Chain A
Amino acid sequence: MLLRHTTKEVKVREGLTINPAKTCQPVGALYAALGIHGCLPHSHGSQGCCAYHRSMLTRHYKEPVMAATSSFTEGASVFGGQANLLASIDTIFSVYDPDIIAVHSTCLSETIGDDLQQITKKAKDDGKIPEGKHVIYASTPSFVGSHVTGYANMVVGMAEQFAESTGEKKEQVNLIAGWMEPSDMREIKKISKELGARIVLFPDTSDVLDAPQTGKHEFYPKGGVTIPELKSTGDSLSSIALGCISAEPAAVALDKKFGVPFETVDMPIGISATDRFIMALSKAAGVSVPDEITSERGRLLDAMTDMDQYFYGKKVALFGDPDQLIPLTEFLLDLGMLPIHIVSGTPGKRFEKRMAEILERSPGANFKNGPGADTFLLHQWMKNEPVDLLIGNSYGKYIARDENIPFIRFGFPIVDRIGHSYFPSVGYSGGLRLVEKILSVFMDRQDREAPEEKFELVM
């Protein structure tokens, strides 16, 4: 019965969202903040918000996720949350002893009008922030944007509130990570190293949310961008933002404040987007592309050409977050597939524009983002024009089961499989992983469903 609730007829809904393709800002801000070394994220709102975000991230990463909460009560919501936040800052520095507290707001604290900038300033003036420690903040009301917006806002907070200019340029490039997995950030660093490019990657959740088993529960795991690194971003030669929605705002902030020029490229998912990223980084860092990387590209291309017949003309539905969907859609087209239904709960004109450009190669494709763009709508579209493959977060499994089609988990959250935190989707090796995953689900299906006479050994 679970699977039979989606009606085929698409009706205009007045605001109602069914089975969302997004969640709210604070969880994104919390995730981004975990990408700073020694940082304790702090949720300025009710206790439940923080518990839900930690649970969701824990389910996604199978890792402990630490964050504190202001624990709003009825009193706080009447008189304002300043006292709660000041008390929180005291508690956190005296007990959990982080180097940084990264505060994000919630719908509650925003609606009652708490001003994080003013409160953190007061904390500083009142001497509540110990020497050498930091409090940064981002305004992340849940009724604006989505989890992706929250991530972007916290990354802006890092850039604006940490970066300094010494007046002397540093031979390094800022790489501003859009919302990607720890495995992806690790891969970005690996590629940069192979290129010989000196970079500062932020945020960086590798070695935080993919920490090894050590017998210890490290409250602050060894990963994350460090404070000196963040400070130095104001002196960098330039910035490359990986993603126009979740990363570019921070690049803009650094440009405005310190005149660090930037270029925005798509998140390097698939062959074309990775090409553009490699070119952008080699140019910005003044390095040439080594043979290793060229060979890696060649191997991806080899797999693409070897297996082209299995991809060609296959229809795909996908949902998720804008900065992933843009290059992923492009990659599917590069493989000869036809992305025909796409939704993202995250609003934004930039996304619409980029997708419209990319989808010129898939005439008649359905695409919607923002309010009302939920997985219910996606499923309705799929009922009207069936597809061969669904790509999205774990919540896609209901639809895939109902439609009996192959399904690849991609995006956030993935709570019923592992792999995303260990194996990258970015770069040429990430592309290879996607190719393998797509092929596997197609071929598994063929093996499962082919009549005996068409059951083939060699594929």
Chain B
Amino acid sequence: MEQIQILKDREKQIFEKKDGGAAFDLSCETTSLSGSVSQRACVFCGSRVVLYPVADALHLVHGPIGCAAYTWDIRGSVSSGPELHRLSFSTDLQETDVIFGGEKKLYASLIELIEQYQPKAAFIYSTCIIGIIGDDIDAVCRKVAKETGIPVLPVHSEGFKGTKKDGYRAACISLMKLVGTGETDDISPYSLNILGEFNLAGEAWIIREYYERMGLQVVSTMTGDGRVDAVRKAHGAALNVVQCSGSMTSLAQDMEKKYGIPFMRVSYFGIEDMASALYDVAKHFPDRPDIMEKAREIVKSEVETLYPQLQKFKAALSGKKAAIYVGGAFKTFSLIKALRSLGMSVVLAGSQTGNSEDYRNLKEMSDEGTVIVDDSNPVELSKFILEKEADLLIGGVKERPIAFKLGVAFCDHNHERKIPLAGFIGMYNFALEVYQSVMSPVWQFAPRKGGQK
């Protein structure tokens, strides 16, 4: 396609920051236009990614086989112990089940699985057709919980009932049923829960270690390297620290309402945000200046090591341009800062699920000429990457081959990252990955940026 045009109805979801340009009113939080090649997923996907890392729980997908097959161990959420979450369990509904209902099959499957694996809890995901055929999964879950003595939690994640964000919400509602059911005797007043950290490539371990070095007790991580028992006593923590704000803010809000636990939003990407995440938490415990003291020590020693290492990358990457298209908007903020610290500018920034406030903040942060998009598609992404002459795209699985076809470097900042990108060491890894891709010798053989060398 030589001429790439913007879909008329998409105009409101695209904004280019210019002096005296149109008033900023980016449309977002809408469902995608029918017929678009959207990069978004569904409610079920949202629930599945949030709950999946709870490693000692059973995750049973109630529906036809696809939903279970496509989410079988595709997310590198690492566990330090049990790995029951990495198996794929499905009721594999057939035509007769759709006609006569799948409750019996669900019940039988649950009993079989719980007997076989003795999980600490079970999450039952409702898929599209469950919402249509009207299986009462709540009733089945109650029955099985009663018979087996473990929490059996329905997740109302019918794919069509909203967006991926509604799936996050459904997952949080299920988690909230677990929170508050455990003992809190051994929990210190200097404690916290790490929320919205999924332990991709072991990132939660890095963050946990920082907080522990500061003298804080980490009660639970939700849900990276997650354990049912830890979630059950999460209400005993003094503070909720929420990353990936889109997915878990609602749980933090619910916990604040019910248990009076305050929460703060943080990000662990980039030096600036990582340091703030430690300082902000330390500030929450003003009666313990030693916590702040330790936070300072950590930041100082980590940055002292990291800063010189980054210079080589910065020298090579200075002046290069990046495009960012990721799931959540909050991550975009951190990435902009992290890229700037490498001397790079951001020419395209977008997300699948940002809200109006996110996009206003994004606009504030952005340089002149930066294009901001919500719920984009491959045509648009290609168009802006070429027009803005980006050297790098940061995205997920579906964006990667588009970048490579365009002859543009790529960094996966989604489920398929292979190395931790969070924390100070994560900033080093991030810089290294960006550097390796942008500076790779393979590009000398490849037509780039639309075929112009």
The reply to whether the CB of A47 lies closer than 8 angstroms to some CB of chain B is yes
> How many Å lie between the Cα of A112 and that of B37 in the bound state?
23
Q: Among A146, A217, A395, which residue has its beta carbon within 8 angstroms of that of B402? A: A217
Tell me if B227 is interfacial: C-beta within 8 Å of chain A: no
How near does chain A come to B122, taking the closest CB pair, in angstroms?
13
How many Å from the CB of A212 to the closest CB on chain B? 9
A89 to B34 Cα, complex, angstroms: 9
CB-CB under 8 A from B404, the residues of chain A are 62, 213
Q: How many A-B residue pairs have CB under 8 A?
A: 264
Residue of B nearest to A63 (CB): B401
Chain B residues within an 8 Å CB radius of A51: 38-42, 45, 398
How far is it, in angstroms, between the C-alpha of A216 and the C-alpha of B34 when the chains are bound? 26
**If A70-B35, A90-B35, A144-B94 touch, does A1 touch B83 (CB 8 Å cutoff)?**
yes
Measured CB to CB, the closest approach of chain A to B85, in angstroms, equals: 9
Contacts of A218 in B (CB 8 A): 405
Tell me whether A46 and B42 are in contact in the complex, defined as CB-CB below 8 angstroms, given that A71-B36, A91-B7, A215-B407 are known contacts. Answer: yes
Chain A residue numbers with a CB within 8 Å of B39 are 51
In the complex, whether A27 has a CB less than 8 A from a CB of chain B is yes
Least distance between B39 CB and chain A CB atoms (Å): 7
Q: How far is it, in angstroms, between the C-alpha of A23 and the C-alpha of B65 when the chains are bound?
A: 6
**Are A214's CB and B90's CB within 8 A?**
no
Cross-chain contact B86 with A107 (CB below 8 angstroms): no
Scan residues 73-104 of chain A and give those whose CB is less than 8 A from a CB of chain B.
73-74, 76-77, 84-85, 87-92, 94-97
Chain A residues, CB < 8 A from B400:
58, 62
B129-137, B260-268, B277-285: which lies at the interface? B129-137
Question: Which A residues lie within 8 Å of B187 (CB)?
Answer: none
Indicate if B84 sits at the interface (CB-CB under 8 A): yes
A146 and B65 contact, CB distance less than 8 A: yes
For the complex formed, measure the closest distance between the CB of A17 and the CB atoms of chain B, giving whole angstroms: 4
- In the complex, A237 Cα to B84 Cα: how many Å? 55
Residues of B within 8 A of A32 (CB): none
Say yes or no: B160 contacts A76, CB within 8 Å: yes
A189 sits at the interface (CB 8 A): no
Tell me which residues across on chain B come within 8 A of A22, comparing CB atoms. 65, 69
User: Which one of B107-115, B288-296, B303-311 is at the A interface?
Assistant: B107-115
Task: Mark interface residues in B383-411 (1 if CB within 8 Å of A CB, else 0).
Answer: 00000000000000110111011110000
Q: Are A68 and B65 touching (Cβ within 8 A)? A: no
- Chain B residues with CB under 8 Å of A91's CB are 7, 9, 33-36
Closest chain-A Cβ to B35's Cβ sits at a distance in Å of: 3
* Interface membership of A278, Cβ < 8 A: no
Instruction: Check A69–B38 contact: CB distance below 8 A.
Output: yes
Q: Which residues on the B side are within 8 Å of A85 (C-beta)?
A: 34
Contacts of A72 on B, CB cut-off 8 Å?
128, 159-160
**Does B87 touch A at the CB level, under 8 Å?**
yes
A16 touches B448 (CB 8 A): no
Q: Report the bound CA distance from A53 to B70 in whole Å.
A: 8
| One of A14, A40, A54, A142 near B398 (C-beta < 8 A) | A54
Contact A112 B132 (CB under 8 A): yes
Q: Does A132 lie at the interface of the complex (its beta carbon under 8 Å from any beta carbon of B)?
A: no
Nearest residue in A to B127 (C-beta to C-beta)? A107
Contact of B397 among A55, A66, A97, A216 (CB under 8 A): A55
Whether the pair B128, A107 counts as a contact (CB closer than 8 A) is yes
Q: Is the CB of A46 within 8 A of B64?
A: no
Please pick, from B5, B68, B450, the residue contacting A20 in the complex, using a CB distance under 8 A.
B68
B447 touching A215, Cβ below 8 Å? yes
Given contacts A58-B397, A216-B450, contact A68 B36 (CB under 8 A): yes
The answer to whether B7 and A95 have CB atoms under 8 Å apart is yes
Total interface residues in chain B, CB < 8 Å: 84
| Distance from B117 Cβ to chain A, minimum over Cβ atoms (Å) | 7
Residues on the B chain within 8 Å of A213, using CB? 404-405, 407, 446-447
Q: Is the CB of A143 within 8 A of B129?
A: yes
B98 on the A face (CB < 8 A): yes
Q: How far is the CA of A19 from the CA of B33 in the complex (A)?
A: 34
Q: Are B66 and A23 in contact (CB under 8 A)?
A: yes
Say whether, besides A66-B37, A213-B446, A143 and B98 are in contact (CB < 8 Å). yes
Q: Which residue on chain A has the smallest CB distance to residue B44?
A: A48
> Are A215 and B450 within 8 A (Cβ)?
yes
Q: Mark B408-451, 1 if CB is under 8 A from A, else 0.
A: 00000000000000000000000000000000000000111111
Is A37 at the interface (CB under 8 A from chain B)?
no
Q: Chain B residue with minimal CB distance to A143?
A: B64
B66 with A71: CB separation less than 8 A: no
Instruction: Choose from A15, A63, A84, A215 the contact partner of B91 (Cβ within 8 Å).
Output: A15
List A contacts of B38 (CB < 8 A): 47, 50-51, 69, 71
Decide if A143 touches B93 in the complex (CB within 8 Å): yes
A111 interfacial by beta-carbon distance below 8 Å: yes
Given contacts A74-B160, A108-B128, contact A15 B105 (CB under 8 A): yes
A17-B91, A64-B378 are contacts. A27–B83 as well, Cβ < 8 Å?
no
Q: Is the CB of A46 within 8 A of B160?
A: yes
Task: Choose from A108, A144, A345 the contact partner of B95 (Cβ within 8 Å).
Answer: A144
A42 within 8 A of B: yes
Min CB distance B80 to A, Å, is 10
Interface contact B34-A70, CB-CB below 8 Å? yes
Minimum CB distance partner of A91 in chain B: B35
| Contact of A141 with B by CB under 8 A | yes
By a CB distance below 8 angstroms, the chain A residues around B398 are 51, 54-55, 58, 64-65
Interchain CA distance A91-B79 in the complex, whole Å? 44
Q: Which of A334-364 contact B (CB under 8 A)?
A: 345
List B residues at the A interface (Cβ < 8 Å): 1, 5, 7, 9, 31-45, 63-72, 74, 79, 81-84, 86-95, 97-98, 105, 108-109, 112-113, 116-117, 127-129, 131-133, 159-163, 378-379, 382, 397-398, 400-402, 404-407, 446-452
21 CB-based A-B contacts, threshold 8 Å: A17-B90, A45-B159, A47-B32, A48-B41, A48-B67, A48-B159, A49-B159, A51-B38, A52-B70, A52-B71, A64-B402, A66-B378, A67-B37, A73-B31, A74-B160, A87-B35, A88-B34, A108-B128, A108-B132, A143-B94, A219-B378
